[in-house]
Amino acid sequence: MNEVEISIKQKIRNIRGKQVMLDSDLAELYGVSTTRLNEQVKRNIERFPEDFMFQLSESDFEILRSQIATANISWIKKRFLPFAFTEQGVAMLSSVLRSKKAVEVNVKIMRAFIDMRRFLFQNVDVFEKFHRINQKFLAYDDNFNKIFEAMEQKRFPVRGIFFDGQVFDAFLFVSDLIKKAK
């Protein structure tokens, strides 16, 4: 994988649950100004329905900016919120931007989207496991918070153990487990 392909993959972002690329990133890759790219899109707006392209809301923009460690200063000075292009919107851009470079870059972008989709599909079980583990950790955190809260309020059980938010007598709990195991 060469530097251009890596650069393209890093510019694919997840916004509103969709993999998209921002107008400024696309303009940079195509070698045109963001203004020029958006002008061409506006001239051909019928080719870009909302599932191909949408403008970021203020909250989308703030979430995106918080996710990117090195905030691009040009974003801050930008007068308008950026546009985000889905894979289909990027494909449609090749019909609007007709330069040879636009076609070459477009092919590379399409391949990057395909590679990312393949990666997600091949690793869906790993992501599901991470999600389940994360849910368990959240439950454990909640239980520990309950224990610490009880300790702060000096509400200690005289005898027993905590289990699923309840206090059980240790002897009865262990004997019940042994009975169930038989």
Could you tell me which of 117, 118, 90 has the C-alpha nearest to residue 106? 90
Question: Which of 8-17, 42-51, 116-125, 172-181 is least confident?
Answer: 172-181
Q: Is 22's pLDDT higher than 90? A: yes
Q: Does 56 or 107 have the greater pLDDT score? A: 56
Q: What is the largest distance, in Å, between two alpha-carbon atoms of the chain?
A: 79
Q: Is 86's pLDDT higher than 70? A: yes
Segment of 6-10, 158-162, 172-176 carrying the highest mean pLDDT: 6-10
User: Averaged over 78-82, what is the pLDDT?
Assistant: 77
Q: Yes or no: say if 82 and 55 are a contact pair by the CB < 8 Å rule.
A: yes
Q: Does 95 or 165 have the greater pLDDT score? A: 95
Q: Is 9's pLDDT higher than 50? A: yes
In angstroms, what CA-CA distances link 29 with 60, 82, 86, 100, 127?
A: 23, 16, 16, 13, 30
Annotated domain spans of the chain: 3-122, 126-181
Q: What is the pLDDT of residue 109?
A: 81
Q: How far apart are CA 91 and CA 27, in angstroms?
A: 14
User: Averaged over 135-143, what is the pLDDT?
Assistant: 83
Q: What is the pLDDT of residue 66?
A: 74
Q: Is 68's pLDDT higher than 70? A: no
Has this prediction a pTM greater than 0.85?
no
